Structure 1
Amino acid sequence: MDPLMLGLIVAVVTILVLFSGISVATGLLVVAAGFLVIFDGVRSLELMPEIFFGKLDNFALLSIPMFIIMGASISSTRAGADLYEALDRWLTRVPGGLVISNLGACALFAAMSGSSPATCAAIGKMGIPEMRKRGYPDGVAAGSIAAGGTLGILIPPSVTMIVYGIATETSIGRLFLAGVFPGLLLVALFMAWSLYGTWRSGSAAILKPRDFTLREKIEILPWVLPFLLIILGVLVAMYGGYATPSETAAVGALLCLAVAVVIYRLFNPKAWWAVLRDSTRESVMILFIIAAAGVFSYMLSSLFITQSIAEWIGTLEVNRWVLMIFINLFLLIAGFFLPPVAVILMSAPILLPIVTAAGFDPYWFAVVLTINMEIGLISPPVGLNLYVINGIAPDISLRTILVGSLPYVFCMVASIVILCLFPEIATWLPELVLGPAI
C-alpha cells in the first residue's frame, strides 16, 4: 500500500480511537500495535517494550517531575493570592487595573509553575470573585484568567518546551530563552486588550477604584520577593553554567519547597501528601504519553509514513509561508482536540525536518507551536482552562467564559503574525546568551 494512503488511514484510525474516550497514551499504543501487527507481523511486537522504556531512558526527563513539583508546592500555598494582592495595590488606579493585575500575577505564577491549570486555579480563586465584586463583567473576569493561565506553557520554565526539546532533540535551555520575549509580548497584548475592553464596557470598577496608601503598597512587596528570587535562582543556575536544565529543575523545586515551608508554614502532612500525589499523577501521565508516542513514532517510521510525508511536502512547489499557514492550521485544529503534550509528541518529530528544510528556525517554530497549543487550552471541545475556570466559578456558564476568552484568542493569533514578521523576538535572546545554534 502507498505510504501516503497508509498515513491517511493511520490518521483517521488514531482520531477515532482517541475520540472513543480512551486515554491518549493507551490509544497511541493500541494504534501502533495494531498497524505493526497487520503490516510487520506479530513478531514486531517484541520491540515495543524496548522502544517504550528506551524512550524514558533520558536524563532530561527528570526535569518534568521537578518542575511539576515546583508548581504543585506553590499552588498549595497563598502564593497566587499574594501575587495578585501586590499587583492590585500598585495598579488599582489604572483603568482596568484589576484585570491587568490578574494577568501580571498569571505571568509571574506561570514563570514558577510552568502549568496552565495550576496558574488558572491559583490566580482565579482570588481574582475572579474580586473582579465580579468590583463590577467587572463575568466574561471579562473569567476570560482574562482563562487566557492568562495559558501563559504557563510558554513562559519558562515550561513543561511543554521540555517535551518539545526531548521529542526534537533540541536544546531545552535555548527553548526556555526563546519563550521569554514572546511570553512578554503576549502579556502586553493581553493587557492592551484588557484596557480597551474594560474601558469599552464602562465598568463601575473604573469609576470607583480602591485606594491604598503608600505604606500598604510597600508592605506587600516582601511577599513578592521570594518568587522573584526563585525565578532569578533558576535562571542563574541554568544560564550561569552551574547546572543542566534537569539539575536546574531540582534547584527550582527545592527553592519552591523551601518557600512553602519557611514562608507559608506548610507543615501539614496531608498538604504534603496532596503535593506529592498530584505531582506524581501528572508526571506519570506525561511520561506515559512520551513513551507511548515513542512507540507510535516508531510505527510511523517503520511503515515509511514519516519519510513519505516529508518527501511529499518537500516536492510541493509552494511558498514557505503558505506552508507555514497550513502547518499552523493543522496545529490549531489538533490543539482543539488533544492536550499540548500529545500534539507535540505526535507532530513535532514529523514537522521539524519540514520546517527547517523550508528555512525556519526550530526554536522560533517551537514558540509558534506553543502559542497554537495555548489557543487550544481556551477553545472547545477540550479547552482545559475553560473547565478549570468553570470549576472555580460554577455560576458562570461555559459559554460566558468562552465568549470572554475569545478576544485573547485573537491576541494570540496577532502574536503569531508578529512573530512571523519579526522572528528575532524569539531568536534574539537565545543567540545573545548561548550564541548561534549549531
Structure 2
Amino acid sequence: MELDPLTLGALVGVTTIVVLFSGISVAIGLILVSIGFLALFDFNHWQAIAWLPETLFAELNDFALLSIPMFILMGAAVASTRAGSDLYEALERWLTRVPGGLVVSNLGACAIFSALSGSSPATCAAIGKMGIPEMRKRGYPPEVAAGSIAAGGTLGILIPPSVTMIVYGIATETSIGRLFLAGALPGLLLVVLFMAWAIFDTWRRGAGEVLTPTVYSWGQKFASLIRVIPFLLVILGVLFALYGGVATPSETAAVGALLVLLFAVAIYRLWRVRDLWVVLRDSTKESVMILLIIGAAGLFSHMLSSLFITQTVAAWIGELQVNRWVLMGAINLFLLVAGFFLPPVAVILMAAPVLLPIVLAAGFDPYWFAAVLTINMEIGLITPPVGLNLYVINGIAPDIRLQTILRGSLPFVACMVLAIIILCVFPEIATWLPEAVMGPVIQ
C-alpha cells in the first residue's frame, strides 16, 4: 500500500491521538503505532520490524540518560521529607509583611521545591498541604489559594536542574548544560510575573490577612533557614559543577542525589529501611516510565523517518512562503494543544526532533526554543482535560471544586503566555546566560 508521505503523516497523527486517548500507556501506544505503520507501509517491513528491538535499546544506550534517574532520586528524597513544609515556613516568616505575602511565599516555595524535586505533582502536594489551608484561614479565596499552588508547581520543569530539559537535550542532541542555563532566567521571569500578579490580585480584591500576621524576630527568621539551606547548597553545587566544567551532567546528578539522600537521613531522620525503600521504589518507577517513553519515542521517530514522513513534512514547511513568526505562532499553537492531552516528556520526545530542523531553518535559537516549548508544556499541566496539577490539588483539597481550581489558575496561564511573548521580543533572556557562561554556540 502506497500513500503520499504528507497523507501518511496525517494518518499517523490521527492514529496516534486515537491510540493515546484510549487510555493505553504512552510508551506502549507509541510502540504499537510504530510497529503497525511499519508493517503496513514499509516495503521491507519484516526487516524493519526485526530491527525494532535493537532500535529501542540503542535509544537507551546513552550515558547522559543516567542523569534522569539520579535527578529523580534526588527529588524523591526531598519529597519524602518535611523539606517542603520547612521551605514554606521559612518563606512565610520572611514575607509575612508583604502585601499578598502568603501567596508570594507559597509561589516562592513552589519555585524552590520544584527545582529541588523536579516534579510538579510532588510540589503541589508538598506545598499545597500546608499552603492552601493557611491561605484560606487568612481570608484568601479558594481559587487564589488553589490556583497559585497549581501554577507554582509547574515551575520545576523549567527552572534547573530540570528533567524535562535533560529529555529535550537527549532528543535533540543539544547541550544539557546550555539548556539548564537557558531555562534559568525565563524561569525567574515566570516567578516574577506570578508574584506580581499575586500582589496585584490581592490588592485588587482586598483579600487576605483577615488574621493579624504573626510578627517574627530576626532570630526566628534565620532559624527557619537552618534545615533549608543544605538542600539549596546542593543545588548550587550541582549547577556550579555542571557549568564550571568540573563534571558531566550524569556525574553531577549522581553526587547531588547522594548528598540530598544523606541530608535527608541526617536532618529528617530518614534512616528507616521502610522509608528508604519508598524513596527508591518511587524513583525507580518514575525513571523506568520516562526511559521507556524515551525508547518508544525513538521507535516512533525511526518509523517516521523510515516512511519519509519527517523529511517530507520538514521540506514542505520549509517551502512555505510565510513569515517566520507566523510559523513560530503555528508551532506554539501545536505545542499548546499537544500539551493539553499529553505529558511534557511525551510531547518533547515526539515533537522536538521533528520541529527542531524547522526551527533552525527559520533562524531561531534551539536553546531559546527549548524555553518556549517548556513554558507551553507548563500551561498543559494546569489546563484540562489532562491538567495533572489540577487533579493533584483537588485530591489534597477535595472541598474545592475542579472548576474553582481551574478558574484560579487561568490568570497564571495568562502570565505564561505573556512570558512567551516577552521571550519572542527579547530572546536574549534565554540566550544571554548560556553564551555568557559557556561561550557562543559553534555551528
TM bucket, shorter chain:
over 0.9
| Deviation, structure 1 residue 142 | 0.6
Name the TM-score, length of structure 1 as normaliser: 0.99
2:86 corresponds to which residue? 82
CA contact (8 A) 1:52 1:292 kept: yes
CA contact (8 A) 1:59 1:246 kept: yes
1:45-194 paired onto structure 2 within 5 Å: 45-194=49-198
1:347 paired with 2:351, answer yes
1:25 corresponds to which residue? 27
Runs of 4+ with deviation above 3 angstroms: none
- Distance in 2 separating the partners of 1:20 and 1:220: 48
* 1:191-231 Cα deviation digits (max 9, x unpaired): 00000111222214167322222222122122221122111
Name the TM-score, length of structure 2 as normaliser: 0.97
Higher deviation after alignment, 304-313 or 383-392: 383-392
Higher deviation after alignment, 392-401 or 176-185: 392-401
- Distance in 2 separating the partners of 1:204 and 1:391: 24
Query: Which one-letter code corresponds to 1:253 in the other structure?
Result: A
1:141-290 paired onto structure 2 within 5 Å: 141-205=145-209, 208-290=212-294
1:398-437 paired onto structure 2 within 5 Å: 398-437=402-441
1:321 paired with 2:321, answer no
- Distance in 2 separating the partners of 1:394 and 1:273: 29
- Distance in 2 separating the partners of 1:184 and 1:53: 37
Query: Which one-letter code corresponds to 2:105 in the other structure?
Result: S
- Distance in 2 separating the partners of 1:21 and 1:111: 30
CA contact (8 A) 1:117 1:149 kept: yes
CA contact (8 A) 1:115 1:158 kept: no
CA contact (8 A) 2:100 2:208 kept: no
Name which of 385, 392, 395 aligns with 1:381: 385
Count how many residue pairs are aligned between Structure 1 and Structure 2: 438
- Distance in 2 separating the partners of 1:343 and 1:353: 16
CA contact (8 A) 1:182 1:425 kept: yes
- Distance in 2 separating the partners of 1:121 and 1:153: 16
1:361 paired with 2:365, answer yes
Query: Which one-letter code corresponds to 2:339 in the other structure?
Result: G
- Distance in 2 separating the partners of 1:432 and 1:17: 44
* 1:50-73 Cα deviation digits (max 9, x unpaired): 001110000000000000011100
Query: Which one-letter code corresponds to 2:220 in the other structure?
Result: E
2:11 corresponds to which residue? 9
- Distance in 2 separating the partners of 1:198 and 1:74: 31
- Indicate the percent of aligned positions where both proteins have the same amino acid: 75
- Distance in 1 separating the partners of 2:357 and 2:55: 22
* 1:20-52 Cα deviation digits (max 9, x unpaired): 111100000000000000112333210100001
Query: Which one-letter code corresponds to 1:113 in the other structure?
Result: S
- Distance in 2 separating the partners of 1:284 and 1:201: 46
| Deviation, structure 1 residue 292 | 0.3
Q: Cα RMSD between the aligned structures? A: 1.0
Stretches of structure 2 lacking an aligned partner (at least 5 in a row): none
CA contact (8 A) 2:161 2:239 kept: no
- Distance in 1 separating the partners of 2:66 and 2:208: 49
Name which of 36, 54, 72 aligns with 1:34: 36
SS in 1 for 2:99: coil
Stretches of structure 1 lacking an aligned partner (at least 5 in a row): none
CA contact (8 A) 1:112 1:230 kept: no
CA contact (8 A) 1:168 1:348 kept: yes
CA contact (8 A) 1:146 1:389 kept: yes
Query: Which one-letter code corresponds to 2:40 in the other structure?
Result: I
Change beyond 3 A, Cα 1:291–1:198: same
SS in 1 for 2:139: coil
Query: Which one-letter code corresponds to 2:144 in the other structure?
Result: V
Query: Which one-letter code corresponds to 1:288 in the other structure?
Result: L
Query: Which one-letter code corresponds to 1:402 in the other structure?
Result: L
CA contact (8 A) 1:113 1:157 kept: no
| Deviation, structure 1 residue 383 | 0.3
- Distance in 2 separating the partners of 1:173 and 1:337: 29
